[in-house]
């Protein structure tokens, strides 16, 4: 007597299938999932390409970050200098 395989549907119903039919269904589902993953990669690549260069010609985010950091540095140095007085090495 051949064993039966159980296939559980998305709505949690159980279907008993003979092993050969189960493997056919499994292969079909695996192929479908691979196609969905490939489509997801294509969509992601398209989104990246669409966003590439969007900020070209405008202010550099790196330059803005460096400028902001240079404004913070004196305050940070003053705070560190104050710590030397409180906690001498």
Phi, psi (deg, nearest 5) at residue 38:
-65, -40
Is pLDDT of 88 > 70?
no
Looking at per-residue confidence, does 1 or 84 come out higher?
84
Q: Would you state the structure tokens that stand for residue 25, as one six-digit string?
A: 């269904």
Question: Given a cut of 80, is residue 9 above it in pLDDT?
Answer: yes
Distance CA 80, CA 72 (A): 12
Taking only the tens place, the pLDDT of each residue in 46-78 is: 888 888 777 777 777 888 899 999 998 888 877
The pLDDT of residue 89? 58
Residue owning tokens 């550099």: 60
First-to-last C-alpha distance (Å) of the chain: 82
Give this prediction's pTM: 0.36
pLDDT reading at 43 higher than 80:
yes
């Amino acid at each position: 007597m051949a064993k039966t395989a159980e296939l559980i549907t998305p709505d949690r119903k159980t279907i008993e299938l003979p092993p050969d039919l189960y493997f056919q269904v499994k292969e079909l589902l695996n192929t479908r999932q691979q196609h969905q993953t490939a489509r997801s990669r294509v969509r992601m690549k398209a989104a990246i390409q669409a966003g590439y260069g969007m900020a070209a010609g405008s202010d550099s985010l790196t330059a803005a970050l460096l400028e902001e950091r240079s404004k913070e540095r004196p305050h940070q140095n003053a705070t560190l200098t104050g710590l030397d007085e409180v906690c001498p090495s």
